[in-house]
Amino acid sequence: MTFDVHQLDTFVLVGAGVTLLAILAVRLSSRAGLPSLLLYLLMGVALGENGIGIDFQNAELAHALGFAALALILAEGGLTTSWDAVKPSMRLGLSLATLGVAVSVAIVALGAHFVLGLSWQLSVLLGAVTSPTDAAAVFSVLRGLPLSPRLVGALEAESGFNDAPTVVLVTLISTGSVADHGVPTTVLVIVFELVVGVVLGLAVGFGGAWLMRRAALPSSGLYPLAVLCLALLSYGAAAGAHASGFAAIYVAALVLGNSELPHRIATRSFAEGVAWLAQIGLFVMLGLLLTPSRITWSVVGIAVVGSLLLTFVARPITVWVSAVVQPMPWREVGFVSWAGLRGAVPIVLATIPLAEKVTDAERLFDIVFVIVVISTVLTGPTLPTVVRWLEVTRQLEPRSLDLEVAPLERVAADMLQVTITPVSRLHGVEVGELRLPEGSSVSMVVRDGRTIVPERRTVLRRGDDVLIVTPHHLREPTVKRLRIVSAHGRLGRWLGD
């Protein structure tokens, strides 16, 4: 098959148009209270063979592109996740991603076999495919709700880590390895892939952070690209070692995102843009892969029962069992049970049996697609109401300090750009009262578009951009001092950090 310039022009035209429509759909979905992924899936269906007529039935290509998109989405999730926020609930998140997945697979598989009459292989595959929550849905939906950091942290950690064991499990079942080697060997393989993936992710994350702090690249636009490539490097390294690339890329991105790197704000913005593009392409592609004419009443009936089983039986039991490692009040347990958002991940996982040509794989894909749509419509729009009912709300706290770092190439120093936000207690503080480490200095203040060369008595105001030059070895103490003053005012050091 050839691909000429005319086809490329058409591809660019259609791709740009669909992407722009998808971006505009974000606004529509936020007004309707629906995750945007549902609209993207429907756009793909509309473009497919029963809609406009684009024929896309390549399960192997969908499987490969789906994994690539998930890797980018997990990288963005790690880069934009605050370790301070997820650390208190990391035990619960890991428990949900491992023990919780096992419990959910067992419950859904038993229900699918004895209630729905599916074969054991199809039942276990359905349980494994539908067990993980979706990182894209969790990151985009939950960060807009006034929730406590503990709840958001637990759900983000779960969605970041639960892809890894389920990908391994679905692959082993689809290839027949579970039947050949037995359950104990399968468990050992999953544990090996997770552990090695996490170790490689930590190695690339800390090594990459060390490298980026010492690299003086000629353009600021290269830093976000380099950080994202480091995250992808961890994925490739883990895959090459037959370990979990998803665990590796999320851990590496989490380390990189919480390290003091140059141009952190720009890096996060770049990662968010790439992740949105990956989400749009992924969901539209999965919609294209669906053949609506195959959706029979039998498929819909199985999907409805499966959704109810997953939402009202498997998920609550999963959370209750997982919470043994980190007990929570019943209200928080209830919210975490309801907030198990499904999205592209189950549909991507359903392409693995398709690619391996498992018996009834097309039927499984159709069932999973309908389950995702039902679960999204059921849980997504109701989350704000559930938050109020269960009284787990917390007022969102604006950041007290926005900090950007740029290296100075010809000297061993960095320039810090500090934006004084409306809640920062840097407002009203004189430059001399900052008491920065000796060797660090405030070089310029930008206020209302005007530049001010500061003196010791210059008073900082909300909205100011403050430029500070500091040697590399003093950057962390300087940043720490700025954060103390921003949080506690000029007397922060004596009143406590």
Find the mean pLDDT for residues 226-248: 93
List phi, psi (to 5°) of 410. Answer: -90, -10
Element (H, E) at 442: strand 441-447
Question: Which pLDDT belongs to residue 34?
Answer: 55
Q: Which residue has the tokens 């359950």?
A: 183
Report pLDDT digits (tens) over 450-489. 999 999 899 999 889 999 998 878 888 888 888 888 888 8
**Angstrom distance (rounded) from CA 74 to CA 77:** 5
Written as six digits, the tokens of 339 are 């907030």
382: helix, strand or coil: coil
Find the mean pLDDT for residues 146-173: 84
For the sheet containing 401-408, what is the strand order? Answer: 401-408, 413-420, 465-471, 441-447, 450-452
Find the mean pLDDT for residues 219-238: 91
List phi, psi (to 5°) of 293. Answer: -65, -20
Question: Which pLDDT belongs to residue 30?
Answer: 55
Report pLDDT digits (tens) over 45-71. 888 777 777 778 788 888 889 899 989
Rg of the Cα trace of the chain?
Answer: 25
Torsion, CA 220, CA 226, CA 227, CA 230, rounded to 10 = -170
Find the mean pLDDT for residues 171-185: 80
Question: Which pLDDT belongs to residue 365?
Answer: 92
Question: Which pLDDT belongs to residue 479?
Answer: 86
Written as six digits, the tokens of 315 are 């998920």
Distance of CA 429 to the CA centre of its chain: 38
Residue type at 16 in one-letter notation: A
Residue 26 CB burial class (10 angstroms; 0-12, 13-18, ≥19): middle
Share of the chain above pLDDT 70, in %: 90
Question: In the structure, what pLDDT confidence band is assigned to residue 307 with cuts at 50, 70 and 90?
Answer: very high
Whether pTM > 0.85 for this model: the answer is no
> Lowest-pLDDT range, 11-15, 223-227, 325-329?
11-15
Let me know: does 415 contact 467? Beta carbons within 8 Å: yes
